[in-house]
Amino acid sequence: MRYLGKQEIEDIAIGAALLGTGGGGDPYIGKLMALQAIEEHGPIKLLDPEEVPDEAVIVPSAMMGAPTVMVEKIPSGEEAITAFESLKSNLSTEIYATMPIEAGGVNSLLPFALAARQGLPVIDSDGMGRAFPELQMVTFYLDGLSATPMVLSDEKGNGMVLNTINSVWAERLARGATIEMGGSVMLAIYPMTGEQMKSSSIRNSLSLEENIGRSIREAKEKNYNPVDSVLELTNGYELFQGKVKDINRKTESGFARGTATIEGIHHDKGKELELNFQNEHLMATADGELLCVTPDLIAVLDAETGMPITTEGLRYGARCIVIGMPCDEKWRTEQGIATAGPGYFGYDVNYTPVEQLNEQEGNHDA
Amino acid sequence: MRYLGKQEIEDIAIGAALLGTGGGGDPYIGKLMALQAIEEHGPIKLLDPEEVPDEAVIVPSAMMGAPTVMVEKIPSGEEAITAFESLKSNLSTEIYATMPIEAGGVNSLLPFALAARQGLPVIDSDGMGRAFPELQMVTFYLDGLSATPMVLSDEKGNGMVLNTINSVWAERLARGATIEMGGSVMLAIYPMTGEQMKSSSIRNSLSLEENIGRSIREAKEKNYNPVDSVLELTNGYELFQGKVKDINRKTESGFARGTATIEGIHHDKGKELELNFQNEHLMATADGELLCVTPDLIAVLDAETGMPITTEGLRYGARCIVIGMPCDEKWRTEQGIATAGPGYFGYDVNYTPVEQLNEQEGNHDA
């Protein structure tokens, strides 16, 4: 157990942008909300999963919606409390702690804002080890836990309790409601016991984000490039260096979908990298050759500062380094690949671990 | 208080088709469900509103969705019980009785099926005195009662509890969810006290349906035309006699929308009646002259048998009599007309009571 103050939140926000793999919503909003909550309520207690009693009731919290909308419609924090309190009343029990469902983007930070205001601890783990765009794309789903009862709350005061036959239906009904409610809502979701959390969640992902963020911050302060230390922390690979040449994005069915083309510079000169995203970067190919594909992680870093760039933040002409990182082993099972692999997102490639795609060519920097 | 058996249900179903003004879903499905429930559980207790204690909790029940879908996806009755039980648990109270939210179509009959299975009485009243396509189009809304907490249940086992800031939001969110859930769902909605029910509902509309249905049935048995007795029971007007010439209907945003053109015969020869509908018949004009418009009621009857024809049942060449009937006075207030008048449905005419539109021309048969 330790307490997180403003510096830790700043670092986690940077790491969240990186593990957000370009999506999950800009962590900036979540960071502002968490910092404001610490300002008002003091430091936030972070628990190691092992410190949580087996019989404790845990309720993850999250925002649902398209990142483009989130930027325009910043939540007050009241919606999260309403969703949380409504689920507490539905469960007729006290809640021991909250946690993120995804390590990545705004959803890594939002549970801190809620926890500070509710006087609850946050658990150092999540359900993805990265960001993904749909509610069933969590290790909890792979382990048979139910997303419901879950609550959606909007900023206007509308609320919805869902009880669905499975988490795919939860995703479907919540997505439709999110669009009706204005494009983004707050969720209290996947209620579970401490025992279930310990066996199913991806552990210490918030600490990993903090370490990533700290190394990027320190590199910036001391004016060196942080990519090597990021690759070391994440067991990652440098995939490409280049300049953004083309971006196509559109918001449809509540998702920000698109592609970006990056033109090679330095040793990648003459080549082109194509990035495919649906909120998150999901597939990277260079001149038709697969370099990294979901559920493995792809992040785009500013070539100068090493700061992660979201899909929304990609700008024409930006110089960047694209990295690939292995996902948690839970995603590499048959069910994991069926749930969040390339086929699910409509890409006609077989999943191959990023290590295999890159080590055999000898370009692993570690 | 009296008990309703199979004959009463058969009669109510005919009256429900007439007050359904062409919509509300074919009462046939609701009738089958109610008859089956009586077969299994015996006659159903019908209460006069005055017999209900002020402090009793009343929960109306209904089906939501497009009539076209309802015909293809007949509910088992389990969804209604699930919705009802879920709202009971949400309210943490016993429920004294159920009732329809609309007198018209399938929703007049469904509460009987639920009541028989739950051992509850049905109250002889409703919230429209007719059928309307949206959840806020009830006298309860005009009187400031909330549609929520309400529950939606589908046949797959998915459920949703809504708490909205007003009943227009309840309609919007429930409509979206209904489409996601396959086009039709069961609702437990507008929970209220006995006192609220007595002051807000339209009274004895189920008995009116029964009387209409009985008069049509008896006319058929004795081989005379029942139109005159229907007009007497409803204070209605014969608007037109003719033959269906043209029908345009499409299902969009969960509604069955369209127009029908009826070519005059007998004394209406040479004229044409245009009917506009959105689930229900909403406006009737003959050669550009307004004859009847929502919230007043328009029904199309088979010219031979006097049996009501739904918008879905309208067929090319069918000979029919179109009648207009005054709505309840609650709909003739400024708020009533704003909620369910011609402007709300996008028709560019002012509301004029059917009596004024027809009496001045001396074609009232009474």
The answer to whether residues A14 and A212 touch, using CB atoms and an 8 Å cutoff, is yes
Same domain, B191 and B278: no
Q: Is A159 on the interface with B (CB under 8 A)?
A: yes
pLDDT at site A65: 82
Q: Is residue B210 domain-resident?
A: no
Query: Tell me: the pLDDT tens digits for A323-337?
Result: 999 999 999 999 999
Residue where a domain terminates, one of A203, A234, A252: A203
pLDDT at site A28: 84
CA distance B261 to B222: 31
The answer to whether residues B251 and B242 touch, using CB atoms and an 8 Å cutoff, is no
CA distance A183 to A68: 9
Same domain, A169 and A287: no
Q: Taking Cα atoms as reference points, which of A315, A295, A255 lies closest to residue A19? A: A295
Helices (runs of H) and strands (runs of E) counted in chain A: 12, 18
Query: Tell me: the pLDDT tens digits for A272-311?
Result: 999 999 889 999 999 889 999 999 999 999 998 899 998 8
CA distance B102 to B81: 19
Question: Mean per-residue pLDDT for B307-317?
Answer: 87
**Burial of A271 (C-beta count, 10 Å sphere; 0-12/13-18/19+):** middle
> Which pLDDT band, with edges at 50, 70 and 90, does A72 fall under?
low
CA distance A206 to A138: 16
> Which pLDDT band, with edges at 50, 70 and 90, does B366 fall under?
very low
* Cis peptide leading into residue B149 (ω within 30°): yes
Q: Which residues of A touch B162 (CB under 8 A)?
A: 158-160
Q: Is B157 on the interface with A (CB under 8 A)?
A: yes
Same domain, A31 and A74: yes
Whole-Å CA distances, A30 to A48, A66, A86, B269? 22, 14, 22, 71
Nearest to A160 among B160, B180, B181 (CB): B160
CA distance A206 to B338: 53
Same domain, B70 and B180: yes
> Which pLDDT band, with edges at 50, 70 and 90, does A26 fall under?
confident
Q: Which residues of A touch B156 (CB under 8 A)?
A: 165, 169
CA distance A271 to A72: 36
Structure tokens at A266: 């330095």
Q: Which stretch of A27-36, A81-90, B210-219 has the lowest confidence by average pLDDT?
A: A27-36
The phi-psi region of residue B240 (left if phi > 0; otherwise alpha if psi is between -120 and 50; otherwise beta) is beta
Q: Which residues of B touch A164 (CB under 8 A)?
A: 157-159
Query: Tell me: the pLDDT tens digits for B72-122?
Result: 666 677 889 999 999 999 999 999 999 999 998 889 999 999 999 999 999
Query: Tell me: the pLDDT tens digits for B208-257?
Result: 999 999 999 999 899 888 999 999 999 999 999 999 999 998 877 656 68
pLDDT at site B313: 83
CA distance B248 to B257: 8
Identity of the residue numbered A105: G
Residue A366 has pLDDT above 50, yes or no: no
Nearest to B165 among A156, A161, A172 (CB): A156
Q: Is B159 on the interface with A (CB under 8 A)?
A: yes
> CA A90 from chain center: how many Å?
27
The radius of gyration computed from the CA coordinates of chain A, to the nearest angstrom, equals 19
Question: In sequence order, what are the residues at sequence separation of 6 or more whose Cβ sits closer than 8 angstroms to the Cβ of residue A126?
Answer: A60, A99, A100, A101, A102, A103, A108, A201, A202, A205, A206
Contact B173 A180 (CB under 8 A): yes
Q: Is residue B217 domain-resident?
A: no
Same domain, B130 and B52: yes
Same domain, A196 and A229: no
Q: Is B86 on the interface with A (CB under 8 A)?
A: yes
Q: Is residue A365 domain-resident?
A: no
Q: Which residues of A touch B86 (CB under 8 A)?
A: 163
Would you list the DSSP string of B238-277? EEEEEEEEEEEEEEETTEEEEEEEEEE-GGGTT-EEEEEE
Residue B52 has pLDDT above 90, yes or no: yes
Residue where a domain terminates, one of A143, A169, A203: A203
> CA A195 from chain center: how many Å?
23
Question: In sequence order, what are the residues at sequence separation of 6 or more whose Cβ sits closer than 8 angstroms to the Cβ of residue B345?
Answer: B276, B278, B282, B283, B294
Identity of the residue numbered A187: L
Contact B176 A176 (CB under 8 A): yes
Contact A165 B158 (CB under 8 A): yes
pLDDT at site B311: 83
Structure tokens at A42: 């003091």
Identity of the residue numbered A47: L
Q: Is residue B34 domain-resident?
A: yes
> Which pLDDT band, with edges at 50, 70 and 90, does A262 fall under?
very high
Contact A176 B172 (CB under 8 A): no
Q: Is residue A219 domain-resident?
A: no
Task: Respond yes or no on whether ipTM tops 0.85.
Answer: no
Question: In sequence order, what are the residues at sequence separation of 6 or more whose Cβ sits closer than 8 angstroms to the Cβ of residue A113?
Answer: A30, A33, A34, A36, A37, A77, A80
The answer to whether residues A347 and A276 touch, using CB atoms and an 8 Å cutoff, is yes
CA distance B24 to B107: 7
* Cis peptide leading into residue A100 (ω within 30°): no
Contact A159 B163 (CB under 8 A): yes
Q: Is residue B235 domain-resident?
A: yes
The answer to whether residues A262 and A284 touch, using CB atoms and an 8 Å cutoff, is no
Nearest CA in chain A to B164: A158
Contact A159 B156 (CB under 8 A): no
Same domain, A328 and A263: yes
Q: Is B156 on the interface with A (CB under 8 A)?
A: yes
3-state secondary structure of A113: helix
What is chain B's mean pLDDT, rounded? 92
Residue A346 has pLDDT above 70, yes or no: yes
> Which pLDDT band, with edges at 50, 70 and 90, does B278 fall under?
confident
Contact B165 A157 (CB under 8 A): yes
Structure tokens at A74: 């910043």
> Which pLDDT band, with edges at 50, 70 and 90, does A195 fall under?
very high
Same domain, B293 and B170: no
CA distance B21 to B277: 9
Whole-Å CA distances, B188 to A183, A202, B125? 27, 40, 16
Question: Mean per-residue pLDDT for A148-160?
Answer: 95
The answer to whether residues B126 and B102 touch, using CB atoms and an 8 Å cutoff, is yes
CA distance B109 to B20: 11
CATH number at residue A125: 3.40.1610.10
pLDDT at site B314: 87
Parent domain of A282? 225-359
Residue where a domain terminates, one of B150, B171, B203: B203
Residue that the structure tokens 């993904």 belong to: A132
Same domain, A125 and A274: no
Same domain, A105 and A234: no
DSSP B311: T
The answer to whether residues A123 and A96 touch, using CB atoms and an 8 Å cutoff, is no
3-state secondary structure of A145: coil
Q: Is residue A215 domain-resident?
A: no
User: CA torsion sign, B208 to B211 to B213 to B216?
Assistant: negative
CATH number at residue A355: 2.40.390.10
What is chain A's mean pLDDT, rounded? 92
Same domain, B190 and B240: no
CA distance B36 to B50: 29
Nearest CA in chain A to B170: A158
Q: What is the tally of structural domains in chain A?
A: 2
Same domain, A292 and A169: no
Q: Is residue A218 domain-resident?
A: no
Backbone φ and ψ of A87, nearest 5°:
-70, -35
**Burial of A20 (C-beta count, 10 Å sphere; 0-12/13-18/19+):** buried
